[in-house]
C-alpha cells in the first residue's frame, strides 16, 4: 500500500474538528491513523489503483434517513467497497421507521462538519445510528474517509464494536 499513515496529532489538518475530538476521546491507544490523499482518487476504485489499497480494506459510509411520526432519524451505513446497502428491513428495523431514503447531503455535511465524498462513521453526531455490516470484521484493519476529501483513516475493524450507537448487522451489505 502506498499510503503513509500518521498519528492524528501529526496530521490534524486532515480531520474535521469533530472527528479529531472523537478519536482523541475514544482511541486512547492511538490505533487510528490518517493519511493524506489526492481527492481525485478518493473513491474506491481510484484509491485502489492509485495507492495500491486492497479493495477488501475499503469501506463505504452512506447516510440515510427515515421518519417516524414527526421525528427524522439518521443512520450511517458502513459496507465493504463494491457492495450495496440492503436498505429494506436491515435498516428500517433498527431505525424503527417504515421508509428509508438517502439523507440530504447538504444537511449531512452541515451537521457533521464533514466534506462531500468523505463522510466517515467516526465522529458522527450522537443521534446518528451507525449500522455496520458484519463482514467488515473479516479484515483486521479497514480504511474509511476522514471527513475531509484529502484524507483517509486506517483503523482496526474492532473499533466499530466500541463506538457509540453502533449496531453490527448481518446481511447489511449485498452484491
Q: In what order do the strands lie in the sheet with 59-68?
A: 100-102, 59-68, 71-80, 128-133, 166-169
Provide the CATH number for the domain formed by 6-174 in this structure.
3.90.960.10
pLDDT in tens, 27-65: 889 999 999 999 999 998 999 999 999 999 999 999 999
Is there a contact between 132 and 166 (Cβ–Cβ < 8 Å)? yes
| Residues forming beta bridges with residue 168, ordered by sequence position | 132
pTM for this predicted structure: 0.96
Sequence-distant (≥ 6) Cβ neighbours of residue 172 within 8 angstroms: 77, 79, 85, 86, 90, 91, 131, 132, 133, 134
Predicted pLDDT at 88: 81
Is there a contact between 174 and 151 (Cβ–Cβ < 8 Å)? no
Amino acid at each position: 500500500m502506498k499510503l503513509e499513515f500518521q498519528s492524528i496529532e501529526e496530521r490534524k489538518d486532515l480531520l474535521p474538528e469533530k472527528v479529531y475530538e472523537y478519536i482523541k476521546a475514544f482511541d486512547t491507544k492511538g490505533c487510528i491513523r490518517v493519511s493524506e490523499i489526492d481527492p481525485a482518487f478518493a473513491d474506491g476504485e481510484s484509491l485502489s489503483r492509485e495507492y495500491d489499497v486492497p479493495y477488501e480494506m475499503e469501506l463505504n459510509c452512506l447516510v440515510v434517513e427515515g421518519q417516524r411520526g414527526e421525528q427524522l432519524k439518521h443512520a450511517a451505513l458502513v459496507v465493504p467497497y463494491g457492495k450495496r446497502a440492503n436498505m429494506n428491513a436491515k435498516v428500517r428495523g433498527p431505525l424503527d421507521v417504515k421508509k428509508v431514503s438517502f439523507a440530504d447531503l447538504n444537511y449531512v455535511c452541515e451537521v457533521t462538519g464533514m466534506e462531500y465524498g468523505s463522510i466517515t462513521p467516526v465522529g458522527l453526531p450522537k443521534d446518528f445510528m451507525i449500522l455496520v455490516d458484519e463482514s467488515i470484521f473479516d479484515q483486521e484493519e479497514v480504511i474509511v474517509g476522514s471527513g475531509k476529501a484529502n484524507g483517509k483513516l486506517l483503523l482496526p475493524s474492532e473499533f466499530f464494536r466500541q463506538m457509540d450507537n453502533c449496531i453490527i448487522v448481518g446481511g447489511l451489505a449485498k452484491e
